[in-house]
Amino acid sequence: MVVFEKPKALTDAPFHYCPGCTHGIIHRLVAEAIDELGIEGKTVGVAPVGCAVMAYNYFACDMVEAAHGRAPAIATGLKRCMPENIIFTYQGDGDLASIGMAETVHSASRNENITIIFVNNAIYGMTGGQMAPTSLPGQVTQTSPYGRDVETAGYPVKVSEMLSTLDGPEYIERVAVNSVKNVKAAKKAIKKAFQNQIEGKGFSLIEVVSTCPTNWGMTPSNALKWLEENMLPYYPLGVYKDRSAAKKEEE
């Protein structure tokens, strides 16, 4: 009996992520979705700049490494020249919600038929813990040493809420990977985001609320607790937009 198996859509390369980091879980969920849908051979992924910069070594499908924030533009190019292929991006909060905000918003408004996995851990990980566009008010980081002051640094960007105001996108859902129950829900959402693309429905973005124990300065278990107590109230989970479901309801 097989109890545990590595998804085929992941390579054998060992992850470089820190202990307790949730990128590993999210990679696995994406790979499982690809396996279950049987699309690995025609999938092209786009890796970001950030902690997941080397995701191109971990996913077994063809991969492109993007410039910081530009993954949705690259995915647009890939999808436009290969509409039958499955294109996804995997991006962090700095990449997607700060430097790449224009690419994010416009690929959503064009309803590009792509899948975006957006990992929100409220901090810049790779560069060592600076304030992210999604850092919470009062959150201490290397570049907000006295806590994020909304008077000078502004407020966090609620990506799912914001994108769901657009007419373009097909599907926007926020999930978390802090508990078995939430991981299961995250898996379902990610799979749906790929399924939507297979069916030609258009732009799907799954925001995954996750942790960064190293740069938050916590143990992995405390980080999960901090996520529950601080992030989830600010970033409520749920489906923010589901155009097909809304259409069905109207009918």
Partner 1 sequence: MAEKVLMKGNEAIAEAAIKAGCRHYFGYPITPQTEIAAYMAKRMPKIGGTFLQAESEVSAINMVYGVAGAGFRVMTSSSSPGVSLKQEGISYIAGADLPALIVNVQRGGPGLGGIQPSQSDYFQATKGGGHGEYHLIVLAPASVQEMADLTIKAFDLADQYHVPTMLLADGTMGQMMEPVELPDTPPAEVEKPWAVRGTEGKRPHNIINSLYLDPELLEKTNFERFERYAKIEENECMSESFMMEDAEYCVVAFGIAARVAKNAVVAARKAGLKVGLIRPITLWPFPKKVLAEAAEQVKGFLSVELSMGQMIEDIKLATACKKPVELCCRTGGMIPTPEQVLESIEKLAKENQ
**Which residues contact partner 1 by CB under 8 A?**
11, 40-44, 46, 53-54, 56-57, 59-67, 70, 73-78, 80-82, 85, 102-103, 105-106
Q: Which residue intervals of the chain are DSSP H helices?
A: 23-37, 55-58, 71-81, 93-94, 101-109, 150-153, 159-163, 180-198, 213-216, 220-226, 232-234, 243-250
CA distance 194 to 42: 12
CA distance 240 to 228: 19
The DSSP 8-state label assigned to residue 143 in this structure reads: T
Q: For residues 150 and 161, is the Cβ–Cβ distance under 8 A?
A: no
- Closer residue to partner 1, CB minimum distance, 40 or 173: 40
- Closer residue to partner 1, CB minimum distance, 54 or 198: 54
- Closer residue to partner 1, CB minimum distance, 81 or 246: 81
In the bound complex, what is the minimum distance in angstroms from residue 19's beta carbon to partner 1?
20
CA distance 226 to 214: 13
Tokens standing for 94? 């700095």
Pairing mode, if any, of strands 238-242 and 204-209? unpaired
- Closer residue to partner 1, CB minimum distance, 36 or 228: 36
In the bound complex, what is the minimum distance in angstroms from residue 168's beta carbon to partner 1?
12
- Closer residue to partner 1, CB minimum distance, 103 or 207: 103
In the bound complex, what is the minimum distance in angstroms from residue 82's beta carbon to partner 1?
6
In the bound complex, what is the minimum distance in angstroms from residue 201's beta carbon to partner 1?
20
CA distance 71 to 12: 24
CA distance 50 to 167: 29
- Closer residue to partner 1, CB minimum distance, 85 or 222: 85
In the bound complex, what is the minimum distance in angstroms from residue 137's beta carbon to partner 1?
29
CA distance 46 to 35: 18
- Closer residue to partner 1, CB minimum distance, 140 or 166: 166
In the bound complex, what is the minimum distance in angstroms from residue 57's beta carbon to partner 1?
8
φ and ψ of 190, to 5 deg? -65, -40
Q: Cα–chain-centroid distance for residue 72? A: 12
In the bound complex, what is the minimum distance in angstroms from residue 21's beta carbon to partner 1?
18
